[in-house]
Amino acid sequence: MKTQNDAALALTRKIVISEARHSNFVFSPASISAALTMMAAGNGSGSEELNAVYSEIATVVFADGSASGGPKISAVNGVWVEQSLPLDHSLKDLFENVFKATFAQVDFKSKAEKVRKELNNWASAHTNGLIRDILPPGSVNSLTKQVYGNALYFKGFWKDKFNKSLTKEEEFHLLKGKPVRVPFMRSYDRQYIGVYDGFKVLGLPYRQGRDDDGTNRKFSMYFYLPDKKDGLDNLLEEMTSTPGFLDSHIPKYKVLVGDFRIPKFKFSFMFEASRALEGEVLVEMYHKARVEIDEEGAEAAAVTFFGQKVGLSLFKPPPPKRIDFVADHPFLFLIREDKTGTVLFAGQIYDPSK
């Protein structure tokens, strides 16, 4: 799964450069990967190995854990094919059995707008209403032959919740202009913090619950905070150019904290991702994600749609005793399942007031 980690970071940097330089953004590498794997299967460019990797992630990472007190997770796939195309029953079986996907033959030729609205409703229904209107008018038309979709939803509560009475407005420093005042969550409890050359990493575990199948998953949110207020670009470059960066920069110990503050934030981000993936895919891809963190935990969702207009075919010693972690300037964040290393969501904050 280390390859998935490195690929997730590489894609993060591509999106930052092409879509969100010095601005807030969030996306789901896991959702994009799921939709890409289905599309590869549909085009005949997939493999049993790719399908097996997806099946493992689906079984371990995407299983809902809310019944036992863990994170609520939902990952749903869908494939919609133009009804006039000859149906490949073996592919239909693959989508339904391996990817557990909804498979539907639809009328793109004469009812494309109706199908577009149905796909948007599907996206909203499977993300607790967080992702709406992802496909704009004209994105699905009479030339569309098939659409592959993935909807991912995550809601987790912090293992150690923040005390709301300690939350108060503080300044967050922007790259340019005056600071903005936003609510900052505080804590005086020990925290998982790693101190490295030029940056710090904070790990906030979610309440895990109990996995009856013995997988013992562990979900956490990670914050990557550069020492310099304008250091996020350099940090992201280091992260993407260092193989195995995520696994070698996981805080292992809880440490005493001094000044500990994290801003609350809530925002959505949408992009037409085929530009970010230029040279890798020749399709139209729409991706929209939303994330919110507060004193209780985090809620995030993402939907990916691929549309085609062709036929189917280094571990560090414990840091000093008391550590400050003040996220009052741009930082990167990830929501990750640590056993497999799967990155569910990734993003950056440049202005939490937006």
C-alpha angle 5-246-208 in degrees, rounded to nearest 5:
85
Amino acid in position 132 = R
Domain ranges of the chain: 21-157+266-308, 164-264+316-349
Q: What is the mean pLDDT of residues 92-115?
A: 93
Enter the pTM of the model: 0.90
User: Domain spanning 21-157+266-308 has what CATH number?
Assistant: 3.30.497.10
Inter-residue contact 82 to 108 (CB < 8 Å): yes
pLDDT, one tens digit per residue, over 241-275 is: 998 999 999 999 999 999 999 999 999 999 886 64
Inter-residue contact 254 to 192 (CB < 8 Å): yes
Nearest to 298 by CA among 26, 62, 34: 26
Q: What is the mean pLDDT of residues 119-129?
A: 96
For domain 164-264+316-349, give its CATH number from 3.40.640.10, 3.30.450.30, 2.30.39.10, 3.90.79.10.
2.30.39.10
Between residues 186 and 340, which one has the greater pLDDT?
186
Q: If you write DSSP's letter for every residue of 262-274 in order, what string do you get?
A: EE-EEEEEEEETT
Task: Report the pLDDT value the prediction gives residue 45, as an integer from 0 to 100.
Answer: 67
Q: What is the mean pLDDT of residues 306-332?
A: 70
Q: What is the mean pLDDT of residues 29-56?
A: 83
pLDDT tops 80 at residue 316? no
CA–CA gap between residue 21 and residue 78 (Å, rounded): 31
